Amino acid sequence: MNSISGKLSFTFILLISFVLSIGFSACNDEIFSTNPKDKLTFSTDTLAFDTVFTTLGSATSKIMIYNRNNVALKISHLGIAGGKSSPFRINVDGSLNADNQFDNIEIRANDSMYIFVAVTVDPTNTNSPVFIQDSLVFQTNGVFQNVKLQAYGQDMKILRNKYILNDTTLTAEKPYLVYGYVAIDTAKTLTLNPGCKLYFHNNANMIVYGNLKANGTAENPIIMRGDRLDKIKFATPFPYNNVAGQWGGLYLLWKGGNHVIRHVNMNSGYVGIYFSNEDRNVIPTLEITDCRIHNFLMYGLVVQNGNVQVSNSEISNTSSYSVYLNGGKHTFLQSTIANYFNNSSVQPVSRDKKPAVMIMNLNRVAPMETIFRNCVISGSSENEFSLATRFLDQYKGIFDHCYIRKPDSLNLQQFTKIRWSAKNDTVFKSTRYDYEKNTYFNFMPDSVSPLRGLADPAVAAQFPVDLNGNNRLIGNKPDAGAYQWEPTKK
């Protein structure tokens, strides 16, 4: 019995070894379909890139290739139709090829693979964006399939650590890409023409030791923003441009400065406008009209020992003070200051406990006076307004026909016809950014907003058109802030 049992055990071991060897052989020599009906599927039929600055290259996007068949496929050829000369480049499952061509790519049954695509556009010597296209081509079992590749290339002028020594004008012919900084020398003037676009690389700044004249128009505003034109590739992609901290800021630093900023849209840096002067005896001036200063990682507008007038403008969404005033005369007319920075799911930081508006008259500063007429000061905190001064009853200020979010009203002679916030006020149409629902902040008054009809018509008459281009004088019931309520367009 022992001899027979031993022979059976040895035979069983040989049988198992034979079966395993066949199994391993089958794994190593996988059977591939030769049926033309077994095709590939793709995550998209067109891969479109956002505008790409020439010579710089794009961020990398990806395409998913799926084999949804129950048998493995061998892609006999995969490549870009334009080959080596194409502006597009591909990385196939971790592999590169200078000619953008690959052969005999295997993909198992019910499996998938990545193809990563980037694009670099040669300079075109044209001012307008140029449309470029190519395609990814696949050949499997004699069947040809393709995915379209599309991008817009835009020529630009690069300003890299550029210190300007003479009066200079930047035009709208091509956008400017700023690395490090662009600066204007003392007593010289930098002029930005209507439609001028400045894209700032990470931490890049505009530094004005002289004068700044930014003369945009409603039809051709001046743009100041970060240089990331692509989207963050989450489940629902959203633009990098909606994330604060993409660049530095605008610094106005000459004590003799005379600055004009009209129809300028600036967003998503560290600091919006930093207007600073240490000399209390010489006061620079700044005019801000019809501007949007939105979504900054620190401050929107900082004024120290300077005279500023802000008219028909929006300053919104900062992680600290949206407006900080310290020394000088500060006039705000028909403007909206709104800080709902916390109400965005894409910001990596939250607001500190600072109010949207801080008026500081404590230190040794230039004589100070503050005027707010037909304005809105609101936000996501319970208190969005702080007035710090030694003697409140002697403070030189006028606050008239304004809405102010503050739980306790200031019963001072400087405050007249003020609508102090109530707990359940619905002030604006939208105070959240939800990229999944495709909604963004909208600081136009809501239909039931306390801003409606609050403004003084005499002041509003100086700004008959709101920041959206709407007539605010219809019915002689203008709203407070930079925007006049309009019904939702269907």
> pLDDT tens digits, residue range 183-219?
999 999 999 999 999 999 999 999 999 999 999 999 9
Residues 227 and 206 in one domain: yes
| Together in a domain, 237 and 90 | no
The answer on 176 and 251 residing in a single domain is: yes
Higher pLDDT pick, 377 / 153: 377
Q: What is the pLDDT of residue 29?
A: 53
Q: Is 26 within the bounds of a domain?
A: no
- Considering the domain boundaries, does residue 27 fall inside one? no
Domain shared by 93 and 213, yes or no:
no
Residues above pLDDT 90, as percent of the chain: 74
Domain that holds residue 140: 41-153
User: How do beta strands 130-140 and 46-48 pair?
Assistant: unpaired
Q: Are residues 301 and 350 in the same domain?
A: yes
Domain boundary (153, 188, 209) is at: 153
The per-residue pLDDT of the chain, averaged, comes to 90
Side chain identity at 41, as an amino acid letter?
Answer: T
Whether the pLDDT of residue 31 is over 50: the answer is yes
Same domain, 256 and 316: yes
Do 383 and 440 lie in a common domain?
A: yes
* CA 171/CA 447 separation, integer angstroms: 40
Residue 423 vs residues 90, 371, 405, 427: alpha-carbon distances, Å: 56, 26, 10, 11
Please say if the pLDDT value at position 18 is more than 80. Answer: no
Q: Which residues lie across from 231 on neighbouring strands?
A: 239
The count of structural domains within the chain is 2
How far apart, in Å, are the Cα atoms of 205 and each of 160, 184, 254, 394? 11, 12, 16, 39
149 and 291 co-located in one domain: no
Q: Under a CB-based contact definition with an 8 Å cutoff, are residues 382 and 402 in contact?
A: no
Q: Is 22 helix (H, G, I), strand (E, B) or coil?
A: helix
Q: According to DSSP H, which parts of 295-387 are helical?
A: none
- Rounded-to-integer distance, Cα 359 and Cα 368, Å: 10
Residue 318 within any structural domain of the chain: yes
Give yes or no: residues 470 and 403 share one domain: yes
Pair (87, 221) in one structural domain: no
Among 153, 170, 196, identify where a domain stops. Answer: 153
Extract the tokens encoding 477.
Answer: 């019931």
Write down the pLDDT at residue 361.
85
The dihedral over CA atoms of 156, 161, 165, 166, expressed in degrees to the nearest 10, equals 20
Residues above pLDDT 70, as percent of the chain: 93
Lowest mean pLDDT among 65-74, 136-145, 236-245, 293-302: 236-245
Is residue 421 over pLDDT 50? yes
pLDDT band at 124 (very low <50, low <70, confident <90, very high): confident
Q: Are residues 139 and 205 in the same domain?
A: no
- Is the domain of 178 the same as that of 122? no
In a domain, 134, yes or no: yes
Residue 256 zone, left/alpha/beta (φ > 0; ψ -120 to 50; rest): alpha
Extract the tokens encoding 125: 């010597």
Residue 19: its pLDDT value, please? Answer: 44
Give the 3-state secondary structure of residue 81.
coil
Report if residue 12 sits inside a domain.
Answer: no
pTM given for the model: 0.85
Q: Mean per-residue pLDDT for 63-81? A: 95
Q: d(Cα 436, Cα 345) in Å, to the nearest integer? A: 10
In a domain? residue 172? yes
* Domain edge (last residue) among 127, 153, 179: 153
Two structure tokens written together for 5:
């049992």
How much is the pLDDT for 234? 64
For residue 183, being part of any structural domain is answered with yes
User: DSSP secondary-structure letter at 2?
Assistant: H
pLDDT of residue 17: 46
The answer to whether residue 459 is domain-embedded is yes
Averaged pLDDT for residues 349-377: 92
Closest CA to 318 of 375, 270, 373, 372: 270
Residue 348 confidence (pLDDT) above 50: yes
Q: Please tell me the predicted confidence (pLDDT) of residue 176.
A: 96
Is residue 11 scored above 50 in pLDDT?
A: no
pLDDT at residue 490, as a whole number: 64
> Which residues, at least 6 apart from 186, have a Cβ–Cβ distance to it below 8 Å?
209, 210, 254
CATH no. for residue 70? 2.60.40.10
Instruction: Indicate whether 439 pLDDT > 70.
Output: yes
